[in-house]
Amino acid sequence: MGSVSHIAADTRSPSRTLDGRMAVVTFLSDYGLGDDFVGVCHGVIARIAPQVRVIDVTHGIERQDVRAGALVLRRTLEYMPVGVHLAVVDPGVGSARRAVALRCGDADRLLVGPDNGLLWPAAQRFGGVAEAIDIGASKLRLDPVSASFHGRDIFAPVAAHLAAGTALADAGEPLDPATLVALQLARAHVADHRVVAHVLHVDVYGNVLLDAAPEDLAAAGLRRGEPAMVGRRRVQYAKTFADVDPGELLLYEDGYRALSLAVNRGSAMDALRLAVDDEIVIRPAPS
Amino acid sequence: MGSVSHIAADTRSPSRTLDGRMAVVTFLSDYGLGDDFVGVCHGVIARIAPQVRVIDVTHGIERQDVRAGALVLRRTLEYMPVGVHLAVVDPGVGSARRAVALRCGDADRLLVGPDNGLLWPAAQRFGGVAEAIDIGASKLRLDPVSASFHGRDIFAPVAAHLAAGTALADAGEPLDPATLVALQLARAHVADHRVVAHVLHVDVYGNVLLDAAPEDLAAAGLRRGEPAMVGRRRVQYAKTFADVDPGELLLYEDGYRALSLAVNRGSAMDALRLAVDDEIVIRPAPS
Amino acid sequence: MGSVSHIAADTRSPSRTLDGRMAVVTFLSDYGLGDDFVGVCHGVIARIAPQVRVIDVTHGIERQDVRAGALVLRRTLEYMPVGVHLAVVDPGVGSARRAVALRCGDADRLLVGPDNGLLWPAAQRFGGVAEAIDIGASKLRLDPVSASFHGRDIFAPVAAHLAAGTALADAGEPLDPATLVALQLARAHVADHRVVAHVLHVDVYGNVLLDAAPEDLAAAGLRRGEPAMVGRRRVQYAKTFADVDPGELLLYEDGYRALSLAVNRGSAMDALRLAVDDEIVIRPAPS
């Protein structure tokens, strides 16, 4: 058989970047690990660029939740080796949404994925989009291209070829970065000694990520080590989980230097009945 | 300690195939990722063949569902680099079922796993079985062999040695390919302008994979872009999800060129209350 | 941006151990795969030590279950290549618990993780702790160190540098191994022709792992192939699942040479309503 036997190895594959590091594709998606979607993309990359290493960021993004994917891509990117960063959360697959590859202004990181906002916050954080290519009809695609699995047929192969040394300009047709779909994440604001924040994400522990930064709390007069009000609930603005007793709520600077709500050895989501997008008001606790 | 300290590195390990590619073991199982089964097999392979790359196809096959495993192995294999293809869905572990390594007629792909039909459809698709070896008592096994974890003790070590360059004939005793357990997957048929199809698999999105091909629908007079009847339900025979409104049913050619039923941004399994093996009848919608 | 842009590659990275094997970090945690925790640790390791291979043992340890993590680390370690063994199950992150790197007496395996007992059983099994270093303030940490994600900020970077060739003594301050937190796993005892055992773990199949060994059963007069009483239930002391009919209970030597209870094609946990830590009494069945 071999209807995709044309997945030829990119023989120019340098496998190492100029400074001797191994070429890397990082991969984030909402595919989950219960099916073969992720494994097949790994296979396609390995066939095209056998020496390229693939690092899975996560495939646990909530199905078709472009914003959650964009948030995770943005916050994890600085911990990843510089390389090609493949991201697929693509509710519009098969529609007119564009498929793109972007070069960031900082460090020449390359982002590959759908043009639906998923790549946008990460690109903004890394110097903006210096170069954008429409890869929807790329000659680097698999042939045929299915209607529903562009991760395998377009995004993974293009990412693999880029990691193997293909120039970005050769991956498709240039497009105006100003026409890319933007995705603005919510941002807390401070008014009248109160922080009006929003739930950006809830992790598997039930920790609740907010769109507020420690600076916002400081601007509202909140001090670490003192109690705060989150709505009508009193919580400790703590440094670590261990600052509060098991079962107690805390507000803390999480692993990504953003503010989160948590319950020591419990779930803040359950305790506060919060969901993504909920607005919460934080203020100093009355003494 | 070190009861398995004999897991010695295969020093003949070429680590590259003759044409310069990295040697690869692909790995599919029903082990899930909640326990250490998959990780331990990776460890065993890495100890025997340190330079061999392991690509996880998926470990999310439904527990002991040999047919689902066979289906996924068959359809994903063409996207994987040529190498050793390890597959373990093994409800009969510890019984008399044989452990085998097979060489396919096409491209010398090697399949390693239990002789329970799991490898059969993939082998048929890749040129049939050109050579078959019983590896149940292979000298390449770990010692001792447990009664319940042949993935670690037999299949992974044999796969690793094969990827490292051991000749297939040295992996055990030859057996007659005609005696291998066959597994015939269901196949739709067309009669009286109707396609009688069956549910082969339901993925995590609730998309329902059928045993029918686009040719079957054409033979029954169905045309893409027109409505069809699936049982008593009217569905669109569409090209992409975006061709129907959110919440609506569609019949489409899926990522593996097979026909599937889906609901745009929903679950066809829920909408149609279908389960694996259910028979469904597809016909042109009355106008 | 680039607040962690100091994650510089360890240019001394040998990438191969002295005997030519690829340097390896194995990684076990309770992070799960639904979030980006595991992926980010992979990214951090790849930036520091690009040539080091990472093998995921499992990330499915029950949340904050130090004992389950310790058990899995201990039993899987012998199947892993000798290298740096990173383990993170860390309910006390942010508290005063120490972060440590240990050298085992056997084979120079290095263990990296929290000093909460997680590493202890594995260290005991591999020759005890020959050298211990407090890495809480290691110069190899990321900077800043978050209060809640020491896997990324302390453990993964230290593991990566050690795999890349940094001497253990350079990873932090020496500490007295006698001060490490010990974790003693339960151990069955035999009295009056009965084995008093405990449930150590239940896997995803519902198989129930006991703290008893085949020697314990022999000492109580139990023979393989004969029936035994587990509490008031009659079970077969079998060699393999296939020795009993589907749906029947068996007692068997599991894949790690420990005794387990199982139901052929079913769940022993459901059949016996057992949970971790439950005590069970095993004796020969009356004839």
Q: Which partners does chain A have (≥3 C-beta pairs < 8 Å)?
A: B, C
Secondary structure (DSSP) of chain A: --TTTT----TT--SB-TTSPBPEEEEEES--SSSSHHHHHHHHHHHH-TT-EEEEEES-SPTT-HHHHHHHHHHHGGGSPSSEEEEE--TTTTSSPPEEEEEESSTT-EEEEESSSTTHHHHHHTT-EEEEEE-TT-TTS-SSPPSS-HIIIIIHHHHHHHHTT--GGGGSEE--GGGSPP-PPP--EEETTEEEEEEEEE-TT--EEES--HHHHHHTT--TTSEEEETTEEEEE-SSGGGS-TT-EEEEE-TTSSEEEEETTB-HHHHHT--TT-EEEEEEPP-
Q: For residues B27 and B88, what is the distance between their CA atoms, to the nearest angstrom? A: 8
* pLDDT score at B11: 54
Which band of pLDDT confidence, cut at 50, 70 and 90, is reported for residue C22?
low
Contacts of C146 in chain A (CB under 8 A): 253-257
Mind listing the pLDDT tens digit for each residue in C200-225?
888 778 999 999 999 999 999 999 99
Shortest distance, CA B51 to any CA of chain A (angstroms): 11
Which tokens hold the place of B44? 């065993």
Other Cβ atoms less than 10 A from the Cβ of B105: the count is 14
Residues forming a β-bridge with A55: A26
Within 13 Å, how many C-alpha atoms sit on residue C192's CB side?
A: 2
Mind listing the pLDDT tens digit for each residue in A23-73?
999 999 999 999 999 999 999 999 999 999 999 999 999 888 999 999 999
Query: Which range has the worst mean pLDDT, B12-16, B196-200, C49-53, C79-83?
Result: B12-16
**Would the CB atoms of C79 and B147 count as touching at under 8 Å?**
no
Query: Which range has the worst mean pLDDT, A12-26, B63-77, B193-207?
Result: A12-26
> Per-residue pLDDT averaged across B254-270, rounded?
90
Which band of pLDDT confidence, cut at 50, 70 and 90, is reported for residue A88?
very high
* pLDDT score at A6: 54
Shortest distance, CA B110 to any CA of chain C (angstroms): 24
Residue B51 φ/ψ, nearest 5 degrees = -95, -5
Contact A208, A261 (CB under 8 A): yes
Mind listing the pLDDT tens digit for each residue in B95-104?
789 999 999 9
Q: What integer best gives the mean pLDDT of chain B?
A: 90
Mind listing the pLDDT tens digit for each residue in C165-181?
999 999 999 999 999 99
pLDDT at B37 over 90: yes
pTM for the whole thing? Answer: 0.89
Q: For residues B162 and B135, what is the distance between their CA atoms, to the nearest angstrom? A: 12
Q: What integer best gives the mean pLDDT of chain C?
A: 90
Which A-chain residues 67-86 have CB contacts (< 8 A) with chain C?
72, 75-76, 78-81
Q: Check residue C266 and report its DSSP letter.
A: B
* pLDDT score at A19: 45
Which tokens hold the place of A232? 């009508």
Q: For residues A244 and A246, what is the distance between their CA atoms, to the nearest angstrom? A: 7
- Percent of chain B exceeding pLDDT 90 equals 75
Mind listing the pLDDT tens digit for each residue in B219-251?
999 999 999 999 999 999 998 888 899 999 999
> Per-residue pLDDT averaged across C241-267, rounded?
89
Report helix, strand or coil for C284.
strand
Residue of C249, C246, C244, C247 lying closest to C229 (CA atoms)? C249
- Tell me whether strands B233-237 and B249-253 are parallel, antiparallel or unpaired: parallel
Shortest distance, CA C2 to any CA of chain B (angstroms): 32
Mind listing the pLDDT tens digit for each residue in C227-239?
999 999 999 999 8
Report helix, strand or coil for C23.
coil
* pLDDT score at A10: 63
Most A-contacting residue of B63, B75, B79, B259 (CB-CB within 10 A), to test interface: B79
Contact A57, A28 (CB under 8 A): yes
Contact B138, B154 (CB under 8 A): yes
**Would the CB atoms of C255 and B2 count as touching at under 8 Å?**
no
Q: How many CB pairs under 8 A join A and B?
A: 107
**Would the CB atoms of A204 and C2 count as touching at under 8 Å?**
no
* pLDDT score at B2: 38
Contacts of C147 in chain A (CB under 8 A): 239-241, 252-253
Q: How many CB pairs under 8 A join A and C?
A: 105
Q: For residues A89 and C64, what is the distance between their CA atoms, to the nearest angstrom? A: 30
> Per-residue pLDDT averaged across A115-143, rounded?
97
pLDDT at C12 over 60: no
Alpha helices in C96-178 (DSSP H): 120-125, 150, 156-163
Contact A46, B27 (CB under 8 A): no
pLDDT at A5 over 70: no
Between the alpha carbon of residue C39 and those of residues A76, A205, B28, B53, the distances in Å are: 9, 17, 21, 18
Which tokens hold the place of C286? 């009356």
Contact C180, C121 (CB under 8 A): no
**CB within 8 A of A25, min separation 6: which ones?**
A45, A49, A52, A53, A54, A55, A83, A84, A85, A86, A159, A160, A163
**Would the CB atoms of A125 and C1 count as touching at under 8 Å?**
yes
- Any CB–CB contact under 8 A between A29 and chain C? no
* pLDDT score at B13: 45
Residue C76 φ/ψ, nearest 5 degrees = -90, -15
